[in-house]
Structure 1
């Protein structure tokens, strides 16, 4: 048994040495982490919101918008944040030309306002959201980072949705994507502040 353990330790040390020589990193997230698949990529709870979001093929528009708005450092920070993350197809539902216009430097303020409207301070899991909705009689108000409110309501017996003042809804399609600095809930529509 001791001989087997020594051989295993030698193999592991050899693999680590080979990885260093080849320029590979052995600091990947632990396989023991419970991940959620979003946009074809595993989202690791040990990584922050930005580190995970850049790997989702369903959120390339959101990532580009976050970069254009200068919010990368904020969403990489300690938080915690709850992010309602619209997919690429959610952005495609906006009127033609909206996204390219918002990504222009002169529209940074408006873009920042829309993006921060999708962020709430604190870490609110799906259970927290359901509890709030139940406690408030079916509709709960959330104060967003941009200072305006959005509302969370039941979209069905199994799904919640966030609503803006105009009544546009973003249904939560994937919940509880845990991050080191908060949680992401994927939504299927872009909600907008006043």
Structure 2
């Protein structure tokens, strides 16, 4: 039986244990990610996340994602935004589209801290896929194959976690290679 976000909370015990064995934070976008900085502070230092940071600021989410959390953010790289149809990002960044942009961005966030080892265990426990309910109301289906975690949105877009377990003072970032969208 597939479980949802409530299982994320149960996974926190596993995640906390996994964090005790974690190595140093990986470099992201050519920048050192500091575990004592919050999600926004670290993302702002990544050359691979300038579009995401601009979108977070335009949506008015910087204060929220700088807050206490905990959050898990699946953070699309610039190339993921560039792969959207021409003009999409420019349109979303316009003030009149703030609500739509906010929904898209919150489809990349969960209100719990979940490291990849805990997520992989949830996937295994659910028979190969685990449904994640995001803060934006999206349902992402997580799967693992040969140690790689993928997320599929309700439209069938698949994002691969390219860098996992980037520890933050208020949660964790998992870098992904696609933008996930609300069900259309």
Give the equivalent residue in structure 2 for 1:85: 75
Question: In 2, Cα distance between the equivalents of 1:36 and 1:153?
Answer: 22
Deviation at 1:177, TM superposition (A): 0.1
1: CA distance, partners of 2:143 / 2:25: 26
TM-score in terms of structure 1 length: 0.81
Moved over 3 A (4+): none
1:64 aligns with 2:43: no
RMSD across aligned C-alpha pairs, in angstroms? 1.0
| Partner Cα separation in structure 2 for residue 146 and residue 93 of structure 1 | 22
2:172 to 157, 171, 183: 183
How many matched pairs?
Answer: 161
Give the 3-state SS of the residue equivalent to 1:153 in structure 2.
strand
Spell out, residue by residue over 1:95-153, the C-alpha distance to the aligned partner (whole angstroms, 9 max, x if none). 01100000000000000000000001100000011001000011101110012211111
**1:112 aligns to what?**
102
Deviation, 1:166, is 1.2
1:1-194 to 2 correspondence within 5 Å? 34-154=24-144, 156-194=145-183
Q: Distance in 2 between matches of 1:146 and 1:124?
A: 17
Q: In the aligned structure 2, how far is the partner of 1:137 from the partner of 1:93?
A: 32
String of CA shifts for 1:5-24, please: whole Å, max 9, x gaps. xxxxxxxxxxxxxxxxxxxx
State the distance in 1 between where 2:174 and 2:24 align.
16
1 or 2 for the larger relative contact order (CA 8 Å, sep ≥6)? Answer: 2
Q: Which has the larger radius of gyration?
A: 1
C-alpha deviation, 1:35, in angstroms: 2.8
Gapped runs of 5+ residues in structure 1? 1-32
Deviations 1:8-59 (A, max 9, x none): xxxxxxxxxxxxxxxxxxxxxxxxx933200000001110001100000000
Q: TM-score when scaled to structure 2?
A: 0.86
Which segment drifts farther, 54-63 or 34-43?
Answer: 34-43
